[in-house]
Amino acid sequence: METYAFGARVEAIKRRAHGQWSGILRALGVDEKILNRRNQPCPLCGGTDRFQYTDKYGEGNYHCRGCGPGGGFKLLQGIQGWDFGTILTRVEQCVGGISAAVSRPGEPSPDRMKKLAKRIWNEAQPVRQGDEVDRYLRNRGLSLSNFPRVLRFHPALGYYEKDNAGKSLKIAEYPAMLACVQAAEGDAVTLHRTYLNDGHKALAISAKKVLSAGINGAAVRLFEATDTLAIAEGIETALAVHVRTGKPVWAAISAGNMERLWLPEIVQHVCIYADNDADNQYDGQACAFALARRLKKAEKKAGARHVEVYVPRHAGSDWADVWRLHLENDRQLA
């Protein structure tokens, strides 16, 4: 019983800390230079430029070519020399209410971010045949007669980058595909933005951006869930799965968020379409199977669920790539 209670405590702290790790690390004394997302000596094993803090999955993530990848707990343990119990208590104190001390200096408040997301959403319009989003999807082999309402087209969305002082500067404007990210209750928590240029991703920039961190199990609900639901990582991959199989599908946005995904009780058959990241640390497969494992372990509460995981055959490919290759083969045979 004590082991179960401790495990539940750890999971609860992980959920509350998700997306807040940069601020937590600052609040607990980690030097700002370590968190600047640049290549540098590893604070754990030394070297010269082998370490980079990324927070890629909202868990305080970093990667070191010497001692390997890790997250916020491991980073704190190595830098501060605390045991895990101490780290857990300190992080728990930070995330009790996610105080202003934990936020990034100058970071907009959650209320302000929600207002910004609503404004951007209202500036956009439903996706229609022939617009830039439709052109982009068709160029990805995704021809849709009807578009999910959670997708919208913004004709000129500002693209921002941060300067050395951390201030956001507007670099340009691009057409963009917006996707509404919804939490368990159905509320919109943020927007996912795909910047476009002439029917393709704006390749000169980071073309995909979530408006704010901490999505923590939320998803882009492209189609209404039934007793069967397909899950994929990216929006384009999810649409490819729908076009190919006809299944309703949700996009998890990232591999790290996939394993935390919330699913309604109505769903009894879960089909997880993983990315094949065999050429890059297996994140896609690992997180897909982590979700499958969590769903199976939760069967005592939610009832038996049939869970399947599908992985493309070739390293570096996702199911959108598989669908595109299928279309190319059909054209060659025609």
DSSP for 222-259 reads -S---SEEEEESSHHHHHHHHHHH---EEE-SSHHHHT
Coil, helix or strand at residue 155:
strand
- Distance (Å, rounded) from C-alpha 137 to C-alpha 179? 13
Give pLDDT, residue 328.
Answer: 77
AA letter at 241: V
> Given this structure, which CATH class describes domain 2-102?
alpha beta
Give pLDDT, residue 306.
Answer: 93
Q: Is the dihedral of CA 115, 195, 154, 173 positive or negative?
A: positive
Give pLDDT, residue 109.
Answer: 61
Q: Whole-number mean pLDDT of the chain?
A: 85
Give pLDDT, residue 67.
Answer: 86
Give pLDDT, residue 110.
Answer: 64
Q: DSSP assignment, residue 107?
A: P
Give pLDDT, residue 102.
Answer: 39
Which letter, b or e, does each residue of 286-296 get, where b requires 16 or more Cβ atoms within 10 Å of its Cβ? bbbbebbeebe
Q: For the chain, give every domain's residue range.
A: 2-102, 110-333
Give pLDDT, residue 170.
Answer: 87
Are 282 and 256 in contact by the 8 Å Cβ rule? The answer is no
Give pLDDT, residue 209.
Answer: 83
Give pLDDT, residue 104.
Answer: 44
> What mean pLDDT do residues 256-284 have?
89
70-84, 265-279, 293-307: which is most confident: 265-279
